Structure 1
């Protein structure tokens, strides 16, 4: 079960989710294992 995110938490980098998703796609091990990122939250 994921840890609840505190109300009003705003990331300093508004593009953090896209950066994380892009970085995740570059990790060949994730593709090899068929891992898929479903959600990114601060």
Structure 2
């Protein structure tokens, strides 16, 4: 029984990866927002 390339079900991995990317974007946006807020308040 040989492995066929592209035959594995990767929906679970894709959901996890998409969730990780979404969380990373949210954290990055929050961090940038905090930095901008601190810069404006400190001026």
TM-score higher than 0.5 here?
Answer: no
Higher relative contact order (CA 8 A, sep 6+): 1
Higher radius of gyration, 1 or 2: 2
